[in-house]
Amino acid sequence: MVTIYHLNNSRSERIVWLMEELDLPYELQTFQREPNMMAPQAYRDIHPLGHAPIIRDGETLMVESGAIIEYLLNRYGNGRLQPKTDSADFGRYLQWMHYAEGSAMSNLLLEYVGSMMKPEKSDQPGPLQMFHARNLEMVQALNDELGRFPYFAGAEFTAADIMMEFVFSFLERWRGEKLTAYPHAAAWLQRVHARPAYAKAMAVAGPKS
Ligand SMILES: N[C@@H](CCC(=O)N[C@@H](CS)C(=O)NCC(=O)O)C(=O)O
């Protein structure tokens, strides 16, 4: 059985949600962040890279949420939650699967961490202003994309939505932003949050669990 090492309020939510969508059994081990938000030593002892999520599946021990999702889908998904490789949605699916961590989270974290390290405000000139402006453009572009398609890959909900959902959760939870200026993104978030598997995952591994 797959073991998910979950760190509270973290990207490991993605993996719990995926397993619930696939209706697969898993063992959940939950760890609490230290006051400085880092993973505790017991978590770091599981894998030398020590970031959440971590999973174990037999001999396989993995970090990196996107890679874990691809692994679980390819091994246990039976074609679910990803478009067929010859479908028109496949390129978009791959793009958003990778964009979530490769660009979106990096862009947001640059601004978030930068704002904690420097007194500079994002409405003043400097790198923070640049990151802030870039992130506004990014969220607008994501909103526009969700005006073209109901889900990130196209007509169907896929694992790309699971990857991208954390980007918007980060905006709301950590930066306290409301998506009122982004109606397509807000409607999409409501749709994905209404999924029974999301509710189940959040009950055991959500921010309030
Ligand atoms: N790109 C990685 C990011 C992993 C990451 O930064 N995880 C955070 C939680 S969301 C973490 O482990 N923070 C605590 C720490 O680094 O000690 C992924 O998607 O898995």
Residues 24 and 116 in one domain: no
Residues 41 and 130 in one domain: no
Domain count, the chain: 2
Residues 105 and 174 in one domain: yes
Residues 44 and 115 in one domain: no
Which ligand 1 atom sits nearest the alpha carbon of residue 166? 10
Range of 82-96, 102-116, 176-190 with top mean pLDDT: 82-96
Q: Is the pLDDT of residue 54 over 90?
A: yes
Which ligand 1 atom sits nearest the alpha carbon of residue 63? 20
Ligand 1 pocket test, pick from 37, 47, 51, 65 with the greatest ligand atom count within 8 Å of Cβ, gives: 51
Residues 128 and 53 in one domain: no
Residues 60 and 104 in one domain: no
Burial group, residue 58, by CB count within 10 angstroms (0-12, 13-18, 19+):
exposed
144-201 confidence digits (pLDDT tens): 999 999 999 999 999 999 999 999 999 988 777 788 899 999 999 999 999 999 999 9
52 lines ligand 1 (CB under 6 A): yes
Mean pLDDT score, 37-61: 96
Number of CB atoms found within 10 A of residue 99's CB: 21
113-136 confidence digits (pLDDT tens): 888 776 666 566 678 888 889 999
Query: Can you say how many angstroms the Cα of residue 33 is from the centroid of all Cα atoms in its chain?
Result: 18
Mean pLDDT score, 54-81: 98
Residues 32 and 50 in one domain: yes
**Strand 26-31 vs strand 2-7: parallel, antiparallel, or unpaired?**
parallel
Range of 82-86, 107-111, 115-119 with top mean pLDDT: 82-86
* Residue 65 in tokens: 């949420």
What CATH number does the domain containing 152 carry? 1.20.1050.10
Q: For residue 86, how far is its CA from the centre of ligand 1 (angstroms)?
A: 33
Residues 105 and 190 in one domain: yes
User: What pTM, to 2 d.p., does this model score?
Assistant: 0.95
72 lines ligand 1 (CB under 6 A): no
11 lines ligand 1 (CB under 6 A): yes
Domain that residue 16 falls in? 2-81+197-205
Query: Can you say how many angstroms the Cα of residue 34 is from the centroid of all Cα atoms in its chain?
Result: 21
Q: Is the pLDDT of residue 27 over 80?
A: yes
Residues 28 and 108 in one domain: no
Residues 189 and 114 in one domain: yes
Whole-angstrom CA distances from 21 to 8, 31, 175 are: 20, 23, 28
Furthest-apart CA atoms within the chain: distance in Å: 52
Residues 129 and 48 in one domain: no
9 lines ligand 1 (CB under 6 A): no
Taken in order 122, 126, 129, 135, the sign of the CA dihedral is negative
Residues 188 and 201 in one domain: no
98 lines ligand 1 (CB under 6 A): no
Q: For residue 12, how far is its CA from the centre of ligand 1 (angstroms)?
A: 8
Whose tokens are 């490769």? That residue is 102
What CATH number does the domain containing 6 carry? 3.40.30.10
The candidate with the shortest Cα–Cα distance to 72, out of 93, 55, 92, is: 55
